[in-house]
Amino acid sequence: MVERAEITGLVLAGGQGSRLGGVDKGLQMYRGQPLARTALERLSPQVGRVMLSANRHLDDYARWGVLVWPDPADLAGYQGPLAGFLSGLQHAETPYLVTVPCDCPQFPADLVARLAEAMHDGVDLVLARTDAGPEPAFCLMRRSLAADLRRYLESGERKVGRWMAQLRRAEVTFDDPAAFFNINTPDDLAR
């Protein structure tokens, strides 16, 4: 079991938003508030501190009073969520990092507590899942994975599932798939 204070929360808002026409998804308004801000508000009470991963409009995000980290310089150009994971692992000052995507505004209020219960000796990474499958953007991991992830990315790999498959991992099943409703298209945003 890991204590809340030992966990840094990272909101992933560093994507290209190509299915939304290339906009910065984290800044898109949803129910009167930018998506990334909703994610930060939902995550903050669940962790010791929060940070945000972004590659555009860094000043706009920083204005909310949150630490903002771009992807590592040698991984610039939207190389995928693992680049954001690595930046978070490198900047976290706690032994654990938990990630959430910016585009999933209803994620469970007990997400981190439940992932933390499954973090034991011999486990490096804990993923959320539903009956529909894993939700790899919701991931609690040891900060010590930074070196392994850096090597993986330096080898040219980018796939999230492949990186996770070679680690000692646990999964926590959440009953309500609606909590993982994810905004990818203009239709999703309008709904």
Binding-site residues for GTP? 12-14, 25, 71, 103
- Check residue 72 for interaction with ligand GTP (CB under 6 A): no
Amino acid found at 44: S
3-state SS string for 40-51: HHHHHHHCCEEE
The stretch among 43-51, 80-88, 90-98, 141-149 that binds ligand GTP (CB under 6 A) is 80-88
Give the position of tokens 């439940």. Answer: 114
Task: Tell which residue, 70, 89, 78, 80, has the closest CA to residue 145.
Answer: 89
Q: Which long-range contacts (CB under 8 A, 24 or more apart) does 142-145 make?
A: 142/95, 142/96, 143/89, 143/92, 143/94, 143/95, 143/96, 143/97, 144/95, 145/89
- Check residue 46 for interaction with ligand GTP (CB under 6 A): no
| 33 torsion bin: left (phi>0), alpha (psi -120 to 50), beta (else) | beta
**Per-residue x/- track, 130-149, ligand GTP (CB under 6 A):** -------x------------
Nearest-approach distance from CB 87 to ligand GTP, in angstroms: 7
The stretch among 78-86, 112-120, 146-154, 161-169 that binds ligand GTP (CB under 6 A) is 78-86
The stretch among 17-25, 114-122, 141-149, 167-175 that binds ligand GTP (CB under 6 A) is 17-25
**Per-residue x/- track, 149-188, ligand GTP (CB under 6 A):** -----------------------------------x----
Angstrom CA distances, 170 to 50, 99, 126, stand at 23, 15, 5
Residue in 8, 9, 14, 163 binding ligand GTP, rule: CB under 6 A? 14
Which residues of the shown chain bind ligand GTP in the complex (CB under 6 A)? 12-19, 25, 53, 71, 78-81, 83-84, 101-103, 137, 184
